[in-house]
Structure 1
Amino acid sequence: MNGVVESLDGLDPDDPRPASQQIANVLRAAILTRRFQPGERLPSQNELADRYGVARETVKVALRVLREERLIVSRQGSGAFVRAQTERPVGLRPHIEAAFERQHVSIDFAGFSSETLHGALTEPLDKIRAGRLTPESIAVRILVPDHSQPAAVPSAIDGPENDKAVRDRATRISRRHSEAIVDSVRELGELGLVRSATAEVRTHGTAALFKVYVLNNSEAFFGFYPVVRHTVTIAQEPVPIFDVMGKDIPLFQFAVGDEEDLATQYVQQARAWFDSVWTTIAHEQQP
Structure 2
Amino acid sequence: MTSHGSAPRDAKFQYLWVADELRKEINSEAHRPGERLPTQEELATRFGVSRATVNQALSLLRKEELIVTRQGSGSFVASEPGEPSHVPGPARSPEGKVWAVVSERVPPVLLKPYLVEAFEANVVKLDVFSMTTESLAARVVDQKDRIVAGEISPPRSITARLLLPNTDSSALAIPRQVSGEDDPRVRQRLGGILRSHVTMLRSALYELRRLKLVEEVAVQVRMVPFAPQMKLYILNNRVVLQGFYIPEEGTATLEDGEEVATYDAYGTGATLYPFRASADSTPEQAGVVRAAKKFFDANWENLATKVTF
Query: Is the shorter-chain TM-score for this pair beyond 0.5, marking a shared fold?
Result: yes
- Three-state SS of the structure 2 residue aligned to 1:175 is helix
Paired position in structure 2 for 1:282? 304
Q: Please list every run of 5 or more consecutive structure 2 residues that lacks an aligned counterpart in the other structure.
A: 1-79
Residues 1:156 and 2:177 aligned together = yes
The percentage of counterpart residues that share the same residue type is 28
| Count of aligned pairs between the two proteins | 225
Bigger radius of gyration? 1
Paired position in structure 2 for 1:126? 145
Q: Distance in 2 between matches of 1:35 and 1:125?
A: 28
Counterpart of 1:216 (choices 236, 251, 266) is 236
Q: Distance in 2 between matches of 1:222 and 1:163?
A: 29
Contact 1:226 1:246 in 2 (8 A): no
Alpha-carbon spacing, 1:37–1:188, altered in 2? closer, same or farther (3 Å): closer
Paired position in structure 2 for 1:92? 111
Shift, 1:174, TM fit: 0.6
Residues 1:176 and 2:196 aligned together = yes
Contact 2:108 2:271 in 1 (8 A): yes
Residues 1:207 and 2:240 aligned together = no
Shift, 1:194, TM fit: 0.2
Q: Distance in 1 between matches of 2:147 and 2:220?
A: 20
Alpha-carbon spacing, 1:241–1:262, altered in 2? closer, same or farther (3 Å): farther
Alpha-carbon spacing, 1:35–1:132, altered in 2? closer, same or farther (3 Å): closer
Paired position in structure 2 for 1:259? 281
Contact 1:201 1:285 in 2 (8 A): yes
Contact 1:112 1:209 in 2 (8 A): no
Q: Distance in 1 between matches of 2:295 and 2:282?
A: 18
Contact 2:109 2:269 in 1 (8 A): no
Q: Please list every run of 5 or more consecutive structure 1 residues that lacks an aligned counterpart in the other structure.
A: 1-31, 43-58, 74-82
Paired position in structure 2 for 1:269? 291
Q: Distance in 1 between matches of 2:281 and 2:266?
A: 35
Alpha-carbon spacing, 1:283–1:62, altered in 2? closer, same or farther (3 Å): same
1:233-244 alignment to 2 at 5 Å? 233-234=253-254, 235-244=256-265
Residues 1:245 and 2:278 aligned together = no
Shift, 1:60, TM fit: 10
Q: Distance in 2 between matches of 1:244 and 1:250?
A: 13
Contact 2:173 2:226 in 1 (8 A): no
TM-score normalised per structure 2: 0.66
Alpha-carbon spacing, 1:239–1:198, altered in 2? closer, same or farther (3 Å): same
Q: Distance in 2 between matches of 1:200 and 1:101?
A: 21
Shift, 1:40, TM fit: 5.2
Paired position in structure 1 for 2:95? 62
